[in-house]
Structure 1
Amino acid sequence: MKLETEKKTVNKSAEELYNFLGDVKNFEKLMPENISKFEVLEDDKFLFALKGMPEIVLKMKEKQPHNKIVLGAASEKLPFTLTADIESLAADKSEAKLTFEGEFNAMMGMMIKGPITSFINTLTDNMGKVS
């Protein structure tokens, strides 16, 4: 399963946005309002839960300076990645897009497609609001 958000313009340079997303504690600022738990576990790992959903632990998997950050599930039970692609537009503007990729059976895919799509769209929308 592969889900992508629309590109979102962010009033930060590509380097600033990359540095922001590269610090896992900043993901708390991007979370939806229905978050019930957020906890930084290590410098490169955090746990979050949305109301009515199980806790998910994400770990930094890959960083390509100023244009890509890949987070992955720390658990092998539900293997997926969340990739932030960053593109520079100007000295103080960039564009970001999130891509969620995971291997799920058809039933699980149908159950999670809506909530995951909503979740990654919220993260991307909130990127545009951070200052």
Structure 2
Amino acid sequence: MTIIQNAIDINKPVAEVYRFLADLNNHEALMPDNIYNWSSTEDEARFTIKNMTKLALRISQRVENKELVCVPAEEAPFAITLRWKLDAQSENVTNAAFVIEAELNMMMKMMASGPLQKLVDHQVSKLKEVLG
């Protein structure tokens, strides 16, 4: 199991950060430029990663103000789980951690680890930018 993660503190209450992340329609704002053909509902998102693959993700678990888990909604190139973990640091500060867990063989790990880490880093910084 390959685990790729990053975390950031956001100056917003945990309920506000959770509300934003719990709706996959909002996740388009967190995506890098190499994501296109985005379509989403509150519970599912479909998109294409330039020069790579198409993905369909769905929310498989919501734990209010704590955690949000996304898994592939269709066949994916490898088993993957995307997890947002939230922790209230204070009344107005939330730590948001984005964790990708992927079943990668050695070859896939060499090819995918860098882009996945860039995706995680990009999404946590965009979350802070979008939510202020």
Give TM-score scaled by structure 2 length: 0.90
Residues 21-61 of structure 1, C-alpha deviations (whole Å, 9 max, x = no match): 00010000111123222111x43110122322211111101
- The aligned amino acid for 1:117 is Q
Partner of 2:114: 114
Where 2:51 maps in the other structure, the secondary structure is coil
2:61 pairs with 1:39:
no
Q: Kindly indicate whether the alpha-carbon contact (under 8 Å) linking 2:58 and 2:72 is maintained by their aligned counterparts in 1.
A: yes
Partner of 1:72: 71
Residues in 1 aligned to 2:72 and 2:35: alpha-carbon distance in whole angstroms: 18
Q: CA deviation at 1:93?
A: 1.7
Q: Kindly indicate whether the alpha-carbon contact (under 8 Å) linking 1:10 and 1:129 is maintained by their aligned counterparts in 2.
A: no
Give TM-score scaled by structure 1 length: 0.91
Residues 61-90 of structure 1, C-alpha deviations (whole Å, 9 max, x = no match): 111110111111123442210111111122
Q: CA deviation at 1:12?
A: 1.6
Q: CA deviation at 1:91?
A: 2.1
Identity %: 27
Gaps of 5+ in 1: none
Residues in 2 aligned to 1:19 and 1:34: alpha-carbon distance in whole angstroms: 26
Gaps of 5+ in 2: none
2:33 pairs with 1:2:
no
Partner of 1:85: 85
Where 1:32 maps in the other structure, the secondary structure is coil
Q: Which moved more, 1:93-102 or 1:46-55?
A: 46-55
2:40 pairs with 1:48:
no
Residues in 2 aligned to 1:91 and 1:68: alpha-carbon distance in whole angstroms: 18
What is the CA RMSD across the aligned residues, in angstroms? 1.3
2:62 pairs with 1:63:
yes
Q: CA deviation at 1:105?
A: 1.6
Q: Kindly indicate whether the alpha-carbon contact (under 8 Å) linking 1:36 and 1:49 is maintained by their aligned counterparts in 2.
A: yes
Where 2:53 maps in the other structure, the secondary structure is coil
Q: Which moved more, 1:16-25 or 1:102-111?
A: 102-111
Q: Which runs of 4+ in 1 moved over 4 A?
A: none
